Amino acid sequence: MFDTLSDRLTSALQNLRGKGKLTDADIDATAREIRIALLEADVALPVVREFIAQIKQRAKGAEVSGALNPAQQVIKIVNEELVAILGGETRRLNLAKNPPTVIMLAGLQGSGKTTLAGKLALWLKKQGHAPLLVACDLQRPNAVTQLQVVGERAGVPTFAPEPGNGVGDPVDVARRGIEEAKHAQHDVMIVDTAGRLGVDEELMRQAANIRDAVRPDETLFVVDAMIGQDAVNTAEAFRDGVGFSGVVLTKLDGDARGGAALSVRQVTGQPILFASNGEKLEDFDTFHPDRMASRILGMGDLLTLIEQAEQAFDQDQAEKAAAKLGTGQLTLEDFLEQMLAVRKMGPIGNLLGMLPGAGQMKDQLAQVDDKQLDRLQAIIRGMTPAERADPKMINGSRRARIAAGSGVAVREVNDLVNRFFEARKMMQQMAGRFGFGGGSATKS
């Protein structure tokens, strides 16, 4: 999503590298480039203005720090300001003291509300909640069926008006939904409402009536991050017409410029709670302003990566591997185990994109595919346990045997072994830098 913005910002900041001292002219030039980058990414003008003013003011007044050089200091300021416009602290979902918690979804048609209802339901279910979906979009043909389908995929029931019972009144369905939630002991209910292609009064009135009937603990405004500048107008219309307590950004996986993500919080004053980045129910997560900012600045998103890893990895195995990482004792056996675990985490390109510096490695990333992983796996499987434990012993004749056994060229075995040694070295350095593992590596 933020590729172009990320590239532009990184290069604007890159120009400062190596400068011992920053003049006001340096700062002005950098601020100008950042301004263009943000405007090109469709960030709303008032947000850009305020952002640039802050950067200039803070960078020019920056105290000399022993730890950071001037360029690093500016990067730090830009990062902090990005975090601030994205909302600062991570805002968690409010759950009601007296269940059921009522979450109402509002937004334009096609913004991704129905899909989000399923994603949210699955996410809540994984955390031990018992959600109920309530179908109050009675306008769009098939909306009820679509909600039932995502509900089934998430393994969550849907409350809907009985078929053949006329068009039905969404406010009435919402009210009966609450009764059903209480009756069947659901602790959260997610109310899907109708959207229109554009903002109109009837739509707002209906959403407001549903709101009054169910008194939501959270009203989430769902906005497609690909709609650019329009996102801001739509958000303002929903804020004034219905009111909302939080924002969900959808379609962050698209290749649009993403200015909506950077504007909507500042313009509406409401926090972004969740981000959706794909059509599958799992493509959804809590929105963390700090992580998003470091992703935009090309500093990777190590925290998300580590959390996803924690979910996919066997805990014992992960701890063992983490301890080995720092001491450089990782074996090919561990490497294979990690690789299998990594495959459970999703497409490899997504994953690698979260690593620091990944922005500059895009071409290489594009070449890594799951088929290649299969080949690597076959090669490692073709080794003896002793070879996996101590890859240094894999000499020329062993390489030839492994290649023949796994049906690949010797060159591929060589590649794998060399890459393994490189990766082991890099991980040891990273472990030192980020302070995990045995930590014999030096700090950089």
Q: Binding site: which residues?
A: 107-114, 192-196, 250-253
- By beta-carbon proximity to ligand GDP, the closer residue of 284 and 313 is 284
State the minimum distance, in angstroms, from the CB of residue 229 to ligand GDP. 19
Of 219, 250, 304, 428, which lies in the binding site for ligand GDP, with binding defined by CB under 6 A?
250
Instruction: Name the minimum Å distance from CB 227 to ligand GDP.
Output: 12
Binding ligand GDP (rule: CB under 6 A), the pick from 33, 253, 333, 415 is 253
Q: Of 1 and 74, which CB lies nearer to ligand GDP in the complex structure?
A: 1
Exposed, middle or buried by CB within 10 Å (0-12, 13-18, 19+), for 25? exposed
**Quick one: 22 or 143, whose CB is closer to ligand GDP?**
143
Q: Is residue 170 within the footprint of ligand GDP (CB under 6 A)?
A: no
Give the whole-angstrom CA distance, residue 303 versus residue 296: 14
Cβ burial of 69 (10 Å; 0-12, 13-18, 19+) is middle
Residue 8 in contact with residue 40, Cβ under 8 Å? Answer: yes
What contacts 118, CB < 8 A, 6 or more positions away? 133, 147, 150, 151, 153, 154, 156, 281
Which residues participate in the annotated binding site for GTP? 107-114, 192-196, 250-253
Interface of this chain with ligand GDP, residues 181 to 210, rule: CB under 6 A: 195
The verdict on 230 binding ligand GDP (CB under 6 A) reads no
Interface positions, 256-315, toward ligand GDP (CB under 6 A):
276-279, 283
Nearer to ligand GDP, 87 or 112 (CB): 112
Answer whether 174's CB lies under 8 Å from 106's CB.
Answer: no
CB closer to ligand GDP, 241 vs 254: 254
Within 8 A by CB and 6+ apart from 432, the residues are: 326, 439, 440, 441, 442, 443, 444
Please, what is the minimum distance in Å from the beta carbon of residue 44 to ligand GDP? 21
Nearer to ligand GDP, 93 or 248 (CB): 248
357: amino acid identity, one letter = G
Q: Using CB under 6 A, count the residues that bind ligand GDP.
A: 18
Amino acid at 360: Q
Q: In residues, how long is the chain?
A: 444
d(CA 298, CA 280) in angstroms, rounded, equals 25
d(CA 125, CA 344): 20
Binding mask 83-112 for ligand GDP (x = CB under 6 A): ------------------------x-xxxx
Report which residue type is found at 1: M
Name the nearest CA neighbour of 304 among 290, 320, 319.
Answer: 290
- Six token digits for residue 393: 């012993």
- How far apart, in whole angstroms, are the C-alpha atoms of residue 421 and residue 54? 45
Of residues 91 and 251, the one with the C-beta less far from ligand GDP:
251
Shortest distance, position 314 Cβ to ligand GDP, whole Å: 29
Asked whether position 113 contacts ligand GDP by CB under 6 A, the answer is yes
Q: Shortest approach of ligand GDP to residue 139 CB, angstroms?
A: 10
Closest CA to 133 of 186, 210, 196: 186
Note the residues at the interface with ligand GDP (CB under 6 A): 107, 109-115, 195, 250-251, 253-254, 276-279, 283
